[in-house]
Amino acid sequence: MVMMPPEPPSAALRLAIDRDALKTNWRTLDALSGSASAGAAVKADAYGLGVDVAMPALRQAGCRDFYVAHWLEAQAALASAPASAIGVLHGPLNAQDAAFAVATGLRPVINSLDQARLWAEAGGRCCDLMIDTGINRLGLPMADLGNPLIAALQVDVLLSHLASADEDSLLNPLQLARWQDARRQVAHRRASLANSAGITLGDAYHGDLTRPGIALYGGVPCAGLEGTVRQVVRPEAALIQIRTLSAGDSVGYNATFTATQPMRVGVISLGYADGYLRAWSGKGMMLAGERRLSVLGRVSMDMTVIDLSAAPDLREGDWVAACYDLPRAAAATGLSQYELLTTLGRRFAR
């Protein structure tokens, strides 16, 4: 008799994802993009949410263009969108990458003359082209725009990327002017410059396609988006032990918290291995409904201790939610809103 394996144990961590908020954020950014359409940056596994969760919701909202960084990310994204809708920002690094793009129909983003050559040798057709207008990361130098290898490309989206869109910087209009110059020199079907913050800089920056990332997922990268972006992600953890401290008892590594009176505390199955980093030590806050439960002592790899004084009814196995509004969380920890999302680990059920 063949024994069926038992059902796997339930997760002690889960990532609550508000798909309606994600859709609303995309629609808001699409409207702010004016006559341009909003795409979506879904690199880093959709900024930690999971492409299998985020991309279907974004497609339901109306998004039709997606960007990943790596080819392995592109392979995962193919389950949620047609290949022609997915651009791979790092471009082909070798003949194998180029052959994979040709075979699947994915759009490589060409960043250099060497990548343009690889694409041509592979028999590649439609692609995107990244122009470096001042961020000095990936991208074709402006001096190479007239090269015959570039003239031979069939460019769908001519891209560049803003370095300082989240602040009032002289680099913004300089990059805009260079991008507009590139548009005049290179034949293309569509053009794209603005990221989340760049959308707020005005119509001149929008082109045909904007590429929001952090704002889709609840981040507020600039003042122009305050009050318009909804929170999408909330980490939740189960209580795995409840205990009572006596006055003088310390908590966690290096005894950074000491109880001054008897108190009821809980251990939750959340730690820095899950992306709830040590920056939250003594600063973090959990919620049980509307009740606020402070993090006590140092965050450990797999566990965090919280004060249950305000929630005497909680029992082992109950769930609490982390206060994780991204702008406030960034201010509290000194971490960037991007780090707060992309470090969330794979132990979360999504």
- Token code pair at residue 140: 């074709």
Q: How far apart are CA 77 and CA 90, in angstroms?
A: 15
Q: How far apart are CA 329 and CA 199, in angstroms?
A: 23
Helix 95-104 × helix 113-121 angle, to 10°: 60
Helix 19-32 × helix 51-61 angle, to 10°: 50
Which residue in 67, 217, 253, 338 is the catalytic one? Answer: 253
Instruction: Write down the residue that tokens 């305050």 correspond to.
Output: 226
DSSP for 102-166 reads HHHT-EEEE-SHHHHHHHHHTT--EEEEEB-SSS-SSSB-GGGTT-HHHHT-EEEEEE---SSTT
Q: Is 43 among the catalytic positions? A: yes
Which residue in 43, 205, 324, 338 is the catalytic one? Answer: 43
| Per-residue CA distances from 309 to 216, 262, 295, 321 (Å) | 36, 10, 12, 16
Quick one: DSSP state of residue 349?
Answer: B
Q: Is 253 among the catalytic positions? A: yes
Name the CA radius of gyration of the chain, rounded. 24
CB 324 within 8 A of CB 236: no
Q: How far apart are CA 145 and CA 151, in angstroms?
A: 8
- Active-site positions read 43, 253
